[in-house]
């Protein structure tokens, strides 16, 4: 793992981006105190639409693949249909 002060990073950004592209993580320091980390971007299975959302800051790529079976085992609650409808109507009124 590399480490760099902000001033050096600003002067040599392309060099440090090359390190990140090759898989290295770079710790960014402000007056020798760590403040951020530059990590490689993994877009192996992402579609073009997903990459556009990531670039716009509206989506993040998951750190590990999603296990659908595990996702479906998450317990969910139940709500009476009339309560659900009333909650939607209340939310719509709040938005006006």
Supply the pLDDT for residue 96: 67
Question: Could you give the number of structural domains in the chain?
Answer: 1
Supply the pLDDT for residue 71: 84
Domain, as residue range, for 25? 2-95
Answer yes or no: is pLDDT of 4 > 90: yes
pTM above 0.75, yes or no: no
Q: What is the pLDDT of residues 9-50, one digit of tens each?
A: 999 999 999 998 888 999 999 999 999 999 887 777 778 888
- Helix ranges (H only) for 3-67 are 6-11, 13-21, 48-55
Q: Which residues contact 19 (CB under 8 A, 6 or more apart)?
A: 2, 26
Q: What is the pLDDT of residues 60-96, one digit of tens each?
A: 877 777 788 888 898 888 888 899 899 999 999 887 6
């Amino acid at each position: 793992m590399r480490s760099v002060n902000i001033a050096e990073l600003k002067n040599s950004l392309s060099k440090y981006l090359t390190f990140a592209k090759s898989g290295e993580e770079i710790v960014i320091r402000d007056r020798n105190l760590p403040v951020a980390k530059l990590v490689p971007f993994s877009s192996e299975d992402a579609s073009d639409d997903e990459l556009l959302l990531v670039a716009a800051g509206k989506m993040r790529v998951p750190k590990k693949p999603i296990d659908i079976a595990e996702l479906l085992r998450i317990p969910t609650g139940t709500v009476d249909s009339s309560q659900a409808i009333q909650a939607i109507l209340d939310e719509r009124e709040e938005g006006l």
